[in-house]
Amino acid sequence: MIMMTDVFKVYANGTRALKGITFTLGTGEFAFLVGPSGSGKSTIIRLVTGEIAPTDGQLVVNGYDMNRIKMRKMPYLRRTIGVIFQDFRLIDNKTVYENVAFAMRVVGASNKEIRARVPYVLELVGLEYKAKVKPQELSGGEQQRVAVARALVNNPALIIADEPTGNLDPARSLELLMLLQRINELGTTVLVVTHEKPLVDRLSQRVIAIDGGRIISDGMDGYYNYEVE
């Protein structure tokens, strides 16, 4: 879960990226985070993943107090979060199986754990028959599903999808969001950062709209009243 209370972020160059952000994303929730370029979306993601710290206000992520977290605790926090990037970030010379297994190896999983978990996750995203294929042999939509599998494989409490449909056509974009919705129904908290209004409109989910470092609406219909630049 994410709990932000009156969070401000001012960068070293003086940019005031966040100006008092308050919202809670509870365990098992699904929400979209929307807003124009420069609105503060990326800053929120960087705060949640521990890349940067708040200037002021309180932030708790999956039980970790981000205002006081020690560096030695950061790897434990990050094991509770799976991040899906727009550009996939797959390893070209590794197979689909190896790409997903790699995410387990970096957190110290055993070979037995990897053999049990990776096939399950690949089946969940519909890629069980592509395990031995390399990324360049896959379509864009399939590559994105590998990225989803990699984010899921360590069984995180929270999935953050950062513009996950930016490189996909409308049909594959909707397919991906439906997959994320299914993952959410299995109990994982999901936060999707996007600017694609038609896709958001297709799913009846909570929408947190941000502009100028402030939340301007938050609810099931927040995006309908907000046009992204």
Nearest alpha carbon to residue 57 among 7, 3, 19, 16 = 7
Neighbours of 226 (CB within 10 A): 18
Q: How far apart are CA 3 and CA 61, in angstroms?
A: 7
Confidence label for 223 from pLDDT (cuts 50, 70 and 90): low
- The per-residue pLDDT for 222 is 53
pLDDT in tens, 23-66: 999 999 999 999 988 899 999 999 999 999 999 999 999 999 99
Q: How far apart are CA 156 and CA 112, in angstroms?
A: 19
- The per-residue pLDDT for 224 is 47
Higher pLDDT residue, 227 or 112? 112
Provide the CA 143 distance to its chain's centre, in angstroms.
16
Backbone angles phi, psi at 140, to 5 degrees: -60, -40
| Mutual angle of helices 170-185 and 140-152, in 10-degree steps | 20
pLDDT in tens, 76-121: 898 899 988 877 789 999 999 999 999 988 888 899 999 999 999 9
Strand ranges across the sheet with 56-61: 16-25, 2-10, 56-61, 64-65
Is the separation of the CB atoms in 163 and 86 below 8 Å? yes
Nearest alpha carbon to residue 166 among 104, 87, 100, 220 = 87
- The per-residue pLDDT for 175 is 83
Percent residues over pLDDT 70 in the chain: 96
Confidence label for 200 from pLDDT (cuts 50, 70 and 90): confident
- The per-residue pLDDT for 41 is 93
Nearest alpha carbon to residue 66 among 15, 108, 21 = 21
Q: How far apart are CA 75 and CA 83, in angstroms?
A: 14
Q: What angle do CA 20, 21, 27 make, to 5 degrees?
A: 150
Backbone angles phi, psi at 112, to 5 degrees: -65, -45
Is the separation of the CB atoms in 207 and 217 below 8 Å? yes
